[in-house]
Amino acid sequence: MTTARSAVPFADREAIRNLTIKYTYFADADDFDLLGTLFVPDAVWDGTAVGLGRQESTEAMLRMMQEMGRSAKVGGGHHMVNHLIDWVDGNSAEGHCYFFSEILTKTDEVRHGTGYYDDKYIRTTGGWKFRERALHALLPPRLVALGETKLIRP
């Protein structure tokens, strides 16, 4: 029998990890329809720690991300590592995972970011979803002009 703050059952742990991996794939591909399916409708996405504001619904979060992508982003990628998941009860869990990101901006700069997400997950009839996701920076973002980037070739 699983109790509060005990080990997360393997199938649930993998479903939650898969949720965070899908987040990076859908966000990086600007697939906002699929990204929205990962959150409950009244989810909170909090980027106040990095100047992106707090969005009080999935719809508001998707609008913010779409606008941010249209105005600044050409492409990029996020990588999630060191994922910790704590079991709260049979229908909720909390997690923490680090990320590294590189985004090519429309001004031909690469934005490098290093930080972590604090998450709250909830089990729904459609599987595990984000209930809250808060973004935090570990290092200040760094912009590098493409002309200054040196590529190493074998």
Structure confidence at residue 109 as a pLDDT band (50, 70, 90): confident
Instruction: Kindly state whether residue 4 falls inside one of the protein's structural domains.
Output: no
Instruction: Kindly state whether residue 76 falls inside one of the protein's structural domains.
Output: yes
Instruction: Kindly state whether residue 21 falls inside one of the protein's structural domains.
Output: yes
Task: Report the CATH number at residue 26.
Answer: 3.10.450.50
Instruction: Look up the domain containing 74 and give its range.
Output: 10-141
- Output the pLDDT for position 103: 86
Decide if pLDDT at 134 tops 80. Answer: yes
Cα distances (Å, whole numbers) of residue 30 to 26, 101, 108, 124: 6, 15, 19, 24
pTM comes to 0.85
Q: How many domains does the chain have?
A: 1
Instruction: Kindly state whether residue 119 falls inside one of the protein's structural domains.
Output: yes
Cα distances (Å, whole numbers) of residue 110 to 35, 36, 104, 132, 147: 23, 26, 5, 28, 10
For the segment 111-126, what is each residue's pLDDT rounded down to a tens digit?
Answer: 888 999 999 999 999 9
For the segment 13-65, what is each residue's pLDDT rounded down to a tens digit?
Answer: 999 999 999 999 998 888 999 999 999 999 999 999 988 889 999 999 999 98
- Output the pLDDT for position 147: 67
For the segment 51-103, what is each residue's pLDDT rounded down to a tens digit?
Answer: 888 999 999 999 998 887 776 777 888 899 999 999 999 899 999 999 999 88
Q: Which residue has the tokens 């973002």?
A: 141
- Output the pLDDT for position 148: 62
Instruction: Kindly state whether residue 5 falls inside one of the protein's structural domains.
Output: no
- Output the pLDDT for position 1: 37
Instruction: Kindly state whether residue 147 falls inside one of the protein's structural domains.
Output: no
- Output the pLDDT for position 107: 81
- Output the pLDDT for position 52: 85
Instruction: Kindly state whether residue 146 falls inside one of the protein's structural domains.
Output: no
Alpha-carbon gap, residue 77 to 45, rounded angstroms: 19
Decide if pLDDT at 143 tops 80. Answer: no
Instruction: Kindly state whether residue 133 falls inside one of the protein's structural domains.
Output: yes
